[in-house]
Amino acid sequence: MGSFARFAAAAALCLPFCNALTNSSYFRPNSTGFRLQHGFETVVVQPYGYDGFRVRAWAFRPPSGNEVSFLYDPPLEGPADATASALTYDTVINGTQNYTMRNGATVVKMFSPNADNATNVRLAFYRVNTDGSESLLTNEYSPIKSLNSRYYEWNGPGYEFSAAYSFATTPDEQIYGTGTQQDHMISKKGNTIDLVNFNTHVPTPLFMSSRGYGFVWNSASEGEMEFGQLRNRFTSKSTTLVDYAITSAQPGDYDTLQRRLTAMTGRAPLPPQWSLGYLHSKLRYENQSEFIQLAQNFHDYGIPVSLLVIDYQSWAHQGDWGLDPGLWPNVSYMAARVKELTGAEIMASLWPSVEDASVNYATMQLDGLLSATRSGPGTTDSWNGSYIRNYDATNPAARKFLWSQLYENYYSNGIKNFWIDQADGGNLGEAYENNGQSVSVAPGLTCSSTWKSLIESIPYPLADVLYYAGTQKSIGKLYPWAHQQAIEEGTRNATGKQQGQPCDYVSLARSGYIGSQRFCSMIWSGDSTAVWDTLASQVSVGLSAAATGWGWWTLDIGGFQADSTVPWSNNIDDDRYRELYVRWQQWATFLPFMRNHGSRACNFQDAYTCNNEPWTYGASNTPIIVSYINLRYQLGNYLTSIFGQLSATGRMIMRPLYMDFSITDPNVVAMTRNNSNVTTQQYMFGPRLLVTPVTLPNVTEWAVYLPNTGAGNGTKPWTYWWTNVTYAGGQTATVPAPLEHVPLFHLGSRADVLSGNVF
């Protein structure tokens, strides 16, 4: 929210890339903004950041200044006179004039078709090319006799309106980012995406265009994004203000575009060094002795590990925000013992849900810290035999209360990293499960499991939740972000470090929103299924997350849960699953965070739940699994370097091929447009490593497309990691890929990669 001050340490963090505040070659904004009064509608356009504009529009009533915003104001970089921090303007127009304003290499024009005709008043954005010519980026789209490009409707009894804004596109424009969907796509052209959160779906209205601009729809409202052939449309279902920003770069220069976008939305701080190692988890370690034994086993096997995780239902009741003392009698002892055995940090799961039996229920209900529903203080969901209400992350007092519990029960006892699970907002991030009570039936009848599951999946609509900050419809997209903010603020308060400074601890969140990267918080891809197709689809999920600005991304190695149609799925004793697991694990060495987690099945059970440790996938697989954990630690300097670049300038870690090769390789451009599996399953990990996970079983070799790097004919820039054979770019190479080798190529010398000397 806007309340965050721009971080104090910005200057100290400024690496050589940072812009000085004065920049003589820069075309400074030649207007502080203009205001269009157009009937009941007011539109204010202001220069914002380098090469950017911010547009705010409202119907009848001006904004109060308390609207939820995810944009830094002023942005982290940019000319001092392009801050948009107040609604300032030097020009007022009434829809019968044209007006042009320029900031850096971007121009905005307000068009009025002629002096007598204000019906088609629309904005258009252009890039000034290096030769001085202008290229249209996009314009508000309203063909004759159609809905206005800025369209408003009033659906409720209150003042809030729904806004649908349409922008022109062309069939060849590609759209990158938009948060995450599970769709095998890095180009979102042609998609319609609901702005409603679910487990594994974190739709976020921020994108980079292949036409060389970036766009942020700065709204907390639920709604929709549509990327059609001729029109892109953003809808907010319930709002009092329309707010968006646009910025540009030369075509193909996606690093600059990310730099501009993250100057507006936030930069990732530096992660703690330990978090770049191997992070271990399963559903679930049930008690203290089992957890200490886990640490003992890592110690005895000599396998390095940086984080051990305690999953859900470790509490007595939902909403206690503390471990069940019956199962975890001495938390500080446990944390110290785990540290002593392995050096690892501990993370504990928390759910936002509060059940009536929780020690915190009465206090939170009385103090108004719980979310409610339109029909009164109603429950928002149900889980595990209890109806629940979620804590209200949008209320600062609720965030403070949550943290006070986490601090006392975990942090002060040595558990300082938090897993923000089920935090999608509204309900618990799933289709409504009516499982608040066990199903009882009349005497003489049996309640079959089929009957029970039918009752649990009745198609009620999503709960119509009310929060401190507004309704689910109007600010629902804020919820997961505010929940990340709660943990961020709490941890920052406890460590005495300002936001933006390097992180000592991390959180792990299932959801997020515009600018979530500013928190010490990684987003993971949610509850995935343990099948090959899901492995393959996670690559494009990570690449879309990266393009949205979320550099801190991870997943569940091996997939989270069984696919009910695949009998071997998730069974650690089945060779078919073991092979999938090994392929998934070796790939995850080359993700921003390497995190193992899942709910497993097994034929031989020796713990409360089935095993998921590196040594439980069969004797022949253990050395392979361990070799990748070791490789992860060997890559420490490289990881530090690429996280440093992400933090300084927003330079992406997981890099879709279009990032680096749009200019040098027309094949990459064409394959990106088709979402060919070369571009949805291959990527650069930092500037030097080309990673291609094996996504099929029984494979001994793998075809990899090696992009043309622009090096001259005859040079062979790509080196296969496992053989040191070199290859020229612009061709497909089929390389040996036995189970122990993930297809991995490097540019430049291996020594440079290992030293981290890769700027």
Ligand X SMILES: *[C@@H]1O[C@H](CO)[C@@H](O)[C@H](O)[C@H]1NC(C)=O
Residues that bind ligand X (CB under 6 A): 19-20, 23, 25-26, 30-31, 50-51, 94, 96-98, 100-102, 104-105, 111-117, 119-120, 144, 286-287, 289-290, 327, 330, 333, 396, 399-400, 403, 486, 489-490, 493, 536, 607-608, 677, 695-698, 712-713, 723-724, 750
114 versus 449: smaller Cβ distance to ligand X: 114
Q: Between 479-495 and 396-409, two packed helices, what is the crossing angle to 10 degrees? A: 50
CB of 587 to ligand X, least distance (A): 13
Nearer to ligand X, 166 or 238 (CB): 166
Least Å distance, CB 685 to ligand X, is 18
CB closer to ligand X out of 117 and 129: 117
Using the minimum distance from each CB to ligand X, give the nearer residue, 171 or 736: 736
Interaxial angle between packed helices 254-265 and 636-649, expressed in degrees from 0 to 180 and rounded to the nearest 10:
70
Q: Which residues of 568-601 are buried (b: 16+ CB within 10 A; e: fewer)?
A: bbbbbbbeebbbbbbbbbbbbbbbbbbbbbbbbb
Smallest distance, ligand X to C-beta of residue 652, A: 17
Q: Hey, what are 743's tokens?
A: 């297809």
CA distance 445 to 293: 45
Nearest to residue 555, comparing CAs of 590, 520, 588, 529?
588
Shortest distance (Å) from residue 191 CB to ligand X: 18
The distance of closest approach from Cβ of residue 698 to ligand X in the complex, given in angstroms and rounded to an integer, is 4
Nearer to ligand X, 97 or 191 (CB): 97
Rounded least distance, CB 486 to ligand X, Å: 5
Contacts with 36 (C-beta within 8 Å, 6 or more apart), sequence order: 42, 43, 44, 45, 92, 93, 94, 95, 110, 121
How many CB atoms are closer than 10 A to CB 117? 11
As measured in angstroms, the least distance from the Cβ of 249 to ligand X is 8
Both tokens assigned to 43: 């539109």
Give the residue numbers annotated as catalytic, written as ranges: 421, 527
Closer to ligand X by Cβ: residue 20 or 445:
20
Q: Which of 343, 278, 351, 271 is nearest to 310 (CA)?
A: 351
Non-local CB neighbours of 195 within 8 Å, separated by 6+ positions: 203, 205, 221, 222, 223, 224, 225, 235, 477
Query: What span, in angstroms and rounded, lies between the C-alpha atoms of 692 and 703?
Result: 9
- CA–CA dist 451, 439 (Å, integer): 9
Question: Taking the CA of residue 136 as centre, how many other CA atoms within 13 Å lie in the half-sphere pointing to its CB?
Answer: 12
- State the DSSP code for 75: -
Of 96 and 191, which has the nearer Cβ to ligand X? 96
Residue with smaller CB distance to ligand X, 19 or 630: 19
In one-letter notation, the amino acid at residue 733 is: A
Helices (H), 285-414: 288-301, 331-342, 361-366, 396-409
Minimum CB–partner distance for residue 623 and ligand X (Å): 17
- The residue (of 240 and 484) whose beta carbon lies closer to ligand X is 484
The residue with tokens 């279902």 is: 237
Q: Shortest Cβ distance from residue 117 to ligand X (Å)? A: 4
- What letter does residue 269 receive in the DSSP assignment? P
**Residue type (1 letter), 745:** F
Bridge pairing between strands 278-280 and 223-227 = unpaired
Q: Is the CB of residue 186 less than 8 Å from the CB of residue 543? A: yes
SS3 of 108, please? strand
